[in-house]
A and B are shown apart, each in its own frame.
Chain A
Amino acid sequence: MSVEAGHAAHPPVAHQSSRVDARTLGMFLFIASEVMLFGSFFTAYFFVRVVNHQPWPPSPFHLPVFVAFVNTCILVTSSFTMHWALQSIKRGNRAGMQAGLTLTFLMGVTFLLTQLLEYARIGFTPHDQAFGTIFFCLTGLHGAHVFVGLTILAAMTTRAFRGHFSPEAHNGVEIGGIYWHFVDVMWIVVFTTVYIL
C-alpha cells in the first residue's frame, strides 16, 4: 500500500449528507425487506384462500379467535409501554425507561408463550391441508420476529439497567423500538387476515 506516513491512522469524518441517522435508515430499509418477506407468505395465503377458494378454517378445525384477541391486546399494549420508555429517556427519566422496557419485554414473552400454548392445543398441524401450513407458517414467521424483537429488547433492557442511554444519546432505544412497533403492526395484519377475515 502506497500510503504516505502521517495520515491514514484515522478515517476522515464522513460528511453527513442527510438529516436521517444512518442506523435509523438502515432499520427502516431492513423493515422494508421484512415486510416483503411477509408479503411472499401472504401471497401464498392469497393463493390458497382466494384463488383456490378454500374454506377458512376448513371443518372440523377451529381457530381460537378469543385467545388470539387477548394476545393481540397484550402485544398492542407493549407497543405503548415501548413508546413510554423512549419518551421517558428523552425527558431524562431513567426509572421510567427501565420500567417501560421491562414491561415491554415481559408482555412480549407472555405473547410468545401464549402462542406456543395455542399451537399445542389448536387441534391441527402444519400437515393438515394447505390451511394448516399457511396458518403455522404465517404465525410462526411472526413468532420468529417476536423472538428476534425480544432478543433486542433483552439487550436494550440490560443496557438500560447498566446506565446506558441518556436524553442526548437514546438512539439504541429508538431503533430497537422501531423494530418492536413493526413486529406489533405486522401482528395486527396477521391477526386480521388469519383469524378475523
Chain B
Amino acid sequence: MIGIQYVVTTIFFFLAAGLLAMLMRAELARPGMQFVGNQVFNELFSVHAALMIFLFIIPAFAGLGNFVIPLMIGAPDMAFPRLNALSFWLLPMAGLMMLSSFFVPGFGCGWTGYAPLCSTHQELGAVFFNMGVQWAGASSIMTALNFLVTIITMRAPGMTFWRMPLLVWANFTTSLLVVIATPFIAGSQFMTMFDHVMHTNFFNYEAHGYVLGYQHIFWFYSHPAVYIMMLPGFGIASEVISTFARKPIFGYRLMALSLMAILVLGFSVWAHHMFVSGMAPWLRVPMMVTSVVIAVPTGIKVFSWLATLWEGKLSFRTPMLFALGFVSMFVIGGLSGIYLAAVPIDIDVSDTYFVVAHIHYVLFGGSLFTIFAGIYYWFPKMTGRMYNEQLGKLHFWLTFIGFNATFFPMHYLGIQGMPRRVSDYAPRFADLNFFISIASFFLGASTLVFLYNMIVSWARGEPAPANPWRAMTIEWQVSSPPPVFNFDEVPQVVGGPYEYGVPGARHAVFGDRVAEEEEVRSR
C-alpha cells in the first residue's frame, strides 16, 4: 500500500531533519562558536526546513490521505494507481537530492532560497535544492490531481459532497491549492536555477531584472503552502475529535465552507512575508487586512472543535491527546500569527526568534501534532495491530512538554531582539538558549518512544479489531488491515459521517445489509 510507504519514508526524512535541528541546537547551546562553522550552520537550518516542509509535512499528509481517502469515500483505489506510484518514487529522489547538498559546496541561503543570494551568489548546493523542490513539487501536484479525480469521480453511491468526512473535504481543498499554487514555486526555482547555471537575468539588477520578483512569486506559492501543510491536519483533527468526543462535528457545513474560504483568501496575503523587503509600501496595509481576515475562517474551525468537545463523552486516547494538543498549540501559533500580520509588530520582530517560535507553533504544534494524531488513529487500520496506549500517552506528554519548553522561550528571545539564522549570539541570551537546547534534546529523545512503540507494535502488537474506536466513517467498517482492494463490494452511503449519539443513524452499509434494511423498513 503506497500510503504506508509514504508515511514510513517521510518519517525517515523527519528523523533526518530532526537530527539537523539538534546539531543546530548543539551549536547554539552557548554563545560563540562550538562545533560547526558559519557556512555549515547555514546549511543545517536550510536543509532542516527544506526537508521538514517538502519531504515530511506535505508528503506525510499525502501519505495518510492516500491510505484513508479511497477507504473513506468507498473507492477501491486511487483513480490513477500508476501515477500514484510515480509520485511516491519522486520523493526519495527529492530527499536524497536535498541531503546530498551537504557534500557539494552546500546550500546555505535558507529554505526560502531568496534571489540573488541563492541565484547568482551561491554554491552548487543551491541547485540541488532547486531540483529537490522540483521533484517534490511534481510529486505533490500529481498526488493532488489524483486526489481530486478520485474524490470527484469515485465516491460510493449516496456519498454526496455534504456527506463526505471532513478529512476528505480538507484534502479536496488542499489538492486544489496544490494544483493552483505549486507551479509557482516550480517557476521560481526554475528562474533562480537558470540565473545561477545559465546566467540569465530574471533577478539580476544590472540587467534590468526585477530582484523582488523572486519573493513575490515564491510567496505566492509559499503562503498557500502554509495551508497545504495545515488543512489536512484540520481534517484529521475533525475526525479524531468527533470520534473521541462521541459527538457530531459542530457546524459541519460551516467547517467545510471555512476550508473553502481559507483556500480563496490564502491567495491574497502573500506579501505579508515581505513587509521589510522594500516592496511598494501601498501593498502593506491591504496585505495586513487580508491576513487578519483569514483568522475568521480559522477561528470558526477552532470554535467548532471546542463546541464539538463541549459536553462530549471525551475519551483521552493518544490520538485525542494529540488532537487536543494541536488545538491548543495552534491557537498560540495563530495568535502570534495575527501579531506578525500587523505591519508595525512585524517590522519590529522580523527575522528574530519570534518568527521561529511562530512557525514552530504552527508547523510543529499544528501540523506535526495532527500527523501524530493521524498516525496513531489509523495505525490499527494500516497495520492490523494496536499500538501500546501507555507508550503513546508517554510520547504525547514528553513531546508536549519538550515542545513548549523548546519553543515558548523563543518568543521572548525574539522580542528581546535575538536574530534568527545566526550561529552566534550576544552573551545576554546565553542562559535561555542553554535551556532551549537542553529542552530540544529532551524533545528529540521523545521521538525514540514513538519509534519504539511503532516498530514493536507493528511487529507484535495485539491484533486490531475492525473498529477499535467505534467510529462511523467507512474505513472502520472493513477489516483491519483492509482487503487488498479496500472493499469486497462498494458500500452504500446512507447518512452523514459523524452521527454519534443519534439513535439508529448509519453512515454506510454494505450490499446485503441494504436489502435487509429495506426489508425491515417495508414491514
Chain B residue contacts of A8, Cβ below 8 A: 483-485, 488
Q: Which of B141, B220, B483 contacts A3 (CB 8 A)?
A: B483
Q: Mark B481-518, 1 if CB is under 8 A from A, else 0.
A: 10111111110000000000000000000000000000
The reply to whether the CB of A32 lies closer than 8 angstroms to some CB of chain B is: yes
Check B149–A37 contact: CB distance below 8 A: no
The reply to whether the CB of B41 lies closer than 8 angstroms to some CB of chain A is: no
The reply to whether the CB of B441 lies closer than 8 angstroms to some CB of chain A is: no
The reply to whether the CB of A127 lies closer than 8 angstroms to some CB of chain B is: yes
Check A130–B77 contact: CB distance below 8 A: no
Instruction: State the CA gap A51–B210 with chains docked (Å).
Output: 8
The reply to whether the CB of B9 lies closer than 8 angstroms to some CB of chain A is: no
Chain B residue contacts of A43, Cβ below 8 A: 184, 187, 213, 216-217, 220
Instruction: State the CA gap A43–B202 with chains docked (Å).
Output: 11
Q: Report the interface size for chain A: residues with CB under 8 A from the other chain.
A: 46
Stretch of A18-26, A80-88, A178-186 lying at the B interface = A18-26
The reply to whether the CB of B191 lies closer than 8 angstroms to some CB of chain A is: yes
Give the nearest-CB partner of B175 in chain A.
A29
The reply to whether the CB of A59 lies closer than 8 angstroms to some CB of chain B is: no
Check A30–B188 contact: CB distance below 8 A: no
The reply to whether the CB of A163 lies closer than 8 angstroms to some CB of chain B is: no
The reply to whether the CB of A1 lies closer than 8 angstroms to some CB of chain B is: yes
Instruction: State the CA gap A15–B200 with chains docked (Å).
Output: 51
Check B157–A15 contact: CB distance below 8 A: yes
The reply to whether the CB of B479 lies closer than 8 angstroms to some CB of chain A is: yes
Instruction: State the CA gap A33–B139 with chains docked (Å).
Output: 13
Check A12–B202 contact: CB distance below 8 A: no
Q: Which of B152, B181, B187, B485 contacts A17 (CB 8 A)?
A: B152
For chain B, residues 164 to 204, give those with C-beta under 8 angstroms from any C-beta of chain A: 179-184, 186-188, 190-191, 194, 198-202, 204
CB distance from B113 to the nearest CB of A (A): 14
The reply to whether the CB of A47 lies closer than 8 angstroms to some CB of chain B is: yes
The reply to whether the CB of B435 lies closer than 8 angstroms to some CB of chain A is: no
The reply to whether the CB of B410 lies closer than 8 angstroms to some CB of chain A is: no
Instruction: State the CA gap A136–B194 with chains docked (Å).
Output: 11
Q: Which of B79, B191, B490 contacts A22 (CB 8 A)?
A: B79
Q: Mark A59-103, 1 if CB is under 8 A from B, else 0.
A: 000000000000000000000000000000000000000000000
The reply to whether the CB of B436 lies closer than 8 angstroms to some CB of chain A is: no
CB distance from A26 to the nearest CB of B (A): 5
Q: Report the interface size for chain B: residues with CB under 8 A from the other chain.
A: 58
Check B204–A130 contact: CB distance below 8 A: yes
Check A33–B76 contact: CB distance below 8 A: no
The reply to whether the CB of B75 lies closer than 8 angstroms to some CB of chain A is: yes
The reply to whether the CB of A117 lies closer than 8 angstroms to some CB of chain B is: no
CB distance from B502 to the nearest CB of A (A): 25
Chain A residue contacts of B208, Cβ below 8 A: 48, 52, 54, 129-131
Check B156–A15 contact: CB distance below 8 A: yes
Given contacts A3-B483, A29-B145, A133-B201, contact A20 B152 (CB under 8 A): yes
For chain A, residues 24 to 51, give those with C-beta under 8 angstroms from any C-beta of chain B: 25-26, 29-30, 32-34, 36-37, 39-41, 43-44, 47-48, 51
Chain B residue contacts of A12, Cβ below 8 A: 76, 485, 487-490
The reply to whether the CB of B430 lies closer than 8 angstroms to some CB of chain A is: no
Tell me whether chain A's interface is mostly helix, strand or loop, or mixed: helix
Q: Mark B237-250, 1 if CB is under 8 A from A, else 0.
A: 00000000000000
Check B490–A13 contact: CB distance below 8 A: yes
Give the nearest-CB partner of A17 in chain B.
B155
The reply to whether the CB of A132 lies closer than 8 angstroms to some CB of chain B is: yes
The reply to whether the CB of B384 lies closer than 8 angstroms to some CB of chain A is: yes
Chain B residue contacts of A127, Cβ below 8 A: 199-201, 207
Give the nearest-CB partner of B83 in chain A.
A26
Tell me whether chain B's interface is mostly helix, strand or loop, or mixed: loop
Check A132–B76 contact: CB distance below 8 A: no
Chain B residue contacts of A36, Cβ below 8 A: 179-184
Check B180–A33 contact: CB distance below 8 A: yes
Instruction: State the CA gap A3–B487 with chains docked (Å).
Output: 11
CB distance from A15 to the nearest CB of B (A): 5
CB distance from B449 to the nearest CB of A (A): 28
Give the nearest-CB partner of A50 in chain B.
B210
Check B76–A11 contact: CB distance below 8 A: yes
Give the nearest-CB partner of B70 in chain A.
A14
Check A40–B153 contact: CB distance below 8 A: no
Q: Which of B77, B180, B198, B484 contacts A1 (CB 8 A)?
A: B484
The reply to whether the CB of B209 lies closer than 8 angstroms to some CB of chain A is: yes
Check B217–A20 contact: CB distance below 8 A: no
Instruction: State the CA gap A41–B76 with chains docked (Å).
Output: 39
CB distance from A190 to the nearest CB of B (A): 15
Check A2–B200 contact: CB distance below 8 A: no
Interface centre among B209, B479, B489, by most chain A C-beta atoms within 10 angstroms, is: B209
The reply to whether the CB of B80 lies closer than 8 angstroms to some CB of chain A is: yes
Check B209–A17 contact: CB distance below 8 A: no
Given contacts A18-B152, A32-B180, A34-B183, contact A44 B159 (CB under 8 A): no
Instruction: State the CA gap A167–B198 with chains docked (Å).
Output: 49
For chain B, residues 40 to 87, give those with C-beta under 8 angstroms from any C-beta of chain A: 74-77, 79-80
Given contacts A18-B152, A29-B179, A48-B210, contact A40 B490 (CB under 8 A): no
Check B200–A33 contact: CB distance below 8 A: no
CB distance from B183 to the nearest CB of A (A): 4
CB distance from B81 to the nearest CB of A (A): 10
Instruction: State the CA gap A136–B149 with chains docked (Å).
Output: 34
Check B204–A40 contact: CB distance below 8 A: no
Check A15–B490 contact: CB distance below 8 A: yes
Check B201–A18 contact: CB distance below 8 A: no
Instruction: State the CA gap A160–B208 with chains docked (Å).
Output: 49
Instruction: State the CA gap A20–B198 with chains docked (Å).
Output: 43
Given contacts A15-B155, A22-B149, A36-B184, contact A44 B490 (CB under 8 A): no
Q: List 8 A-B contacts (CB under 8 A).
A: A11-B484, A22-B79, A29-B148, A29-B179, A33-B182, A127-B199, A130-B208, A133-B209
Known contacts A29-B179, A37-B187; 9 additional CB pairs below 8 A are A12-B489, A15-B156, A17-B153, A17-B154, A26-B79, A29-B148, A40-B183, A43-B216, A127-B207
Give the 3 A-B CB pairs with smallest separation, nearest first.
Answer: A40-B187, A47-B210, A11-B485
Interface of A toward B, CB cutoff 8 Å: 1-3, 7-8, 10-18, 20-22, 25-26, 29-30, 32-34, 36-37, 39-41, 43-44, 47-48, 51-52, 54, 126-127, 129-134, 136-137
